[in-house]
Amino acid sequence: MKNILFIFVGGGFGSILRYLMSNYTQKLWNINSFPMGTFLVNIVGCLMIGFLTSYFMKNDNYLKYLLITGFCGGFTTFSTFSVENYSLWQNQEYGTLLLYVALSVILGFVAVIAGMKSQVLLH
């Protein structure tokens, strides 16, 4: 039951930070129809989850529920990514759609690896 409370608290903070960061980023870098806010949030989230996962592989405690499952789960958003892709499809912005999907998947994967490798470098 304690782990569920940590997930709840982490998820709440992650969701609030996602909202703030995504909205601010979208206003700051309004690049045509490219969903820069969600893109940046998801790439930063991939970097964080890579770092945290690498750390908690060796240190199993309640913080992994707070930070990985809760915070990172609330911070990143696959559902918004998907609905933005649908919107790009509906608006026949196929180039932006392909760029968004490709960059999100490739840079997300690279960010996870970078997060995991940075944890190794710190020790």
| Inter-residue contact 48 to 115 (CB < 8 Å) | yes
For 16, residues 6+ apart whose C-beta sits below 8 A from its C-beta are none
Q: Residue 6's pLDDT is what?
A: 96
Which has the higher per-residue pLDDT, 28 or 100?
A: 100
Q: Residue 85's pLDDT is what?
A: 97
14 is in an annotated binding site: no
95 is in an annotated binding site: no
Q: How many CB atoms lie within 10 A of CB 24?
A: 12
Which has the higher per-residue pLDDT, 8 or 1?
A: 8
